[in-house]
Structure 1
């Protein structure tokens, strides 16, 4: 599949949507012990689908303004390289891959420098500003989940060519798949534009999201996936940009955003439990991100953080993607901040969150 390689977009291309475009989630503490796999259990690879929370650079290679392959993004990544990860350092799938002793970071599928070993141990197909609602990716010119699935089919053929069909099927069956989406649907497509609100109330819109999410999981199953973790939506109303846009003069959490996330999560959890019973040999796990992230936001000092209402980049109120750039001042110590820009956590934030999540959910996938 061929993609256009644009130059870094200028600020003039940024619309109101890109103040909101993008999403959040997971990781490990630097001193955390590696996950101990049960006897005779193997996890050969990690595979990611979804949005900017686990996009390691796929958006670098498509025509979209939702990019971050420029400073100060990546300032704490290896050698300070801006890889296209929407953070100052590593993102959830990187940290989880390391926690499972697979590799130090999970590369983008569209990275032109992928090696055979990269493919065999996993990649991410995620695209910043994508979502369960097909309209979400159209608004941002991101890769929709349907296209990510087509890239996955292409990936399967590449793996078969490298190791043969039998080994490829083993890898597909025993890998862990992470699906992270929904935040952009709620923040950008539903509350950020009038297109969906004119036809859907919150209940019916979360039904639309749910139908897409469960259909995607079933498609993954048909292609050989058996261990699938689907992240719920976070407390999106408490993200700095949403506080700015919907939290009033004192920038409180936008409760209508959070209520929509909680409603979607309730439906998603029930539906995934049902799917696990219907699909033989499957382990499909709803991963609750809302509860631990909200606790971090409410009790930052408990987690060694000082600032949870603003991002580290610029004012921390609206800067995200091309608005967070080399002309912005950066906070003195990003390890004290939960959020790197106005939408995405710092590596430290992800480390704390993954530590809370991985112990509770990872063993259910093994």
Structure 2
């Protein structure tokens, strides 16, 4: 009799905890800008990738790829540096905001992460990561893609403990999985380190990256992901750092790097089309960020920016992560700049990119 009552009490407590978490979720939702059909639900967003999407997973790692110090985050919730590689929100945050899910997407490794955050999604991205396993080991140590998937597996166990197995399966099966990778592989591992150039020409290296990407999507699929959005590589030859290092006296865009990104993107697009054919129940989308970002950089004045070839921090030519710190001066108004530091755009630019990109590809996920 005692055991029956105890079991009943435990079940009631579990139900109450889950109802409380559901109530918190409902109250914390933001107003959606991107409208979904009445019968379509995207309950959560999961992000895998590099510094473009990282919201703080590198904070407690021994790596130079960190930014949990001023002036990073100067426009984020009262000027708090959280490990976001920008002056404010990054695309991870803006996407969940755009979908009306919540205000920002927390890093899974945030020590203050609450169970109530789990049902609406978390972020596994790590600054410095790439499709190539070597990329996460070179210089800027990062959480590899296999490591990010391990974190997702750990998350799944915790999610089931919070909402139950059926609801957890629904959240994962209907959640939006986003992947942003490739730029570190090309600019750092292939070109800057020169290690890959000894072993491969670029077409061969692109094949290696796409094969790695395909295997990554397949493992995500096997873990329950169905809605998968893959961003292509950006025009990395036009970021301030590459202009300074290889753009000559006039600091022009480095065409070789941009050409490499385009070459890789074309192969990635073919790989994703093949994945869609082999896994017809997946709803995977190849999402182009290269062209809209290049247009903002090259035609920055058309978008309301005054400076497109250097970042807001310091001189804006080489400052990134630990070189962009509280000792550096920052520009008077970051709204005038396309880039925050020598690699990463400002929140303002991200906002101009996220909404039209989501609107363009949302039908693929429905």
TM-score w.r.t. the length of structure 1 is 0.90
Measure, in 1, the Cα distance between the counterparts of 2:277 and 2:165. Answer: 28
What residue is the counterpart of 2:242 in the other structure?
242
- 1:54 counterpart SS class: coil
Pick closer, same or farther for the CA change 1:171–1:108 going to 2, 3 Å.
same
The answer to whether the 8 Å contact 1:340/1:346 transfers is yes
- More moved, 32-41 vs 264-273: 32-41
Q: How far apart, in 2, do the equivalents of 1:54 and 1:223 lie?
A: 21
Q: What is the aligned partner in structure 1 of residue 25 from structure 2?
A: none
5+ residue gaps, structure 1, are: 1-31
The residue aligned with 1:12 is none
Moved >6 Å (runs of 4+) = none
Measured after TM superposition, the shift of residue 357 of structure 1 is 1.4
TM-score, normalised relative to structure 2 = 0.90
Q: Which residue of 2 aligns with 1:100?
A: 99
Counterpart for residue 300 of structure 1: 300
Question: Are the equivalent residues in 1 in contact too, given 2:56–2:82 (CA < 8 A)?
Answer: yes
Task: Report the number of matched residues.
Answer: 335
The 3-state SS of whatever aligns with 1:58 is coil
Aligned to 1:347: 347
Say which SS state the counterpart of residue 138 (structure 1) adopts.
coil
More divergent stretch after superposition (194-203 vs 272-281): 272-281
| SS of the residue 1:61 aligns to | coil
Provide, for residues 94-119 of structure 1, a one-character-per-residue CA deviation record: whole Å limited to 9, x for no partner. 00100000000000000011111211
Mapping for residues 71-82 of structure 1, pairs under 5 Å: 71-82=70-81
Deviations 1:121-164, CA, capped at 9 Å, x for gaps: 11110000100111110012111000000010000011111111
Structure 2: runs of 5 or more not aligned: 1-30
**Deviation at residue 356 of structure 1 after TM alignment:** 3.1
Equivalent residues of 2:308, 2:338 under 8 A apart = yes
Q: Distance in 1 between matches of 2:116 and 2:281?
A: 27
Rounded to whole Å, the distance in 2 between the matches of 1:166 and 1:330 is 49
The corresponding residue for 1:66 is 65
Post-superposition offset of 1:333:
0.6
Distance in 1 (alpha carbons) for counterparts of 2:259 and 2:206: 11
2-structure distance, mates of 1:148, 1:62? 14
Distance 2:175 2:195 in 1: 38
Please, what is the CA RMSD of the aligned residues?
A: 1.1
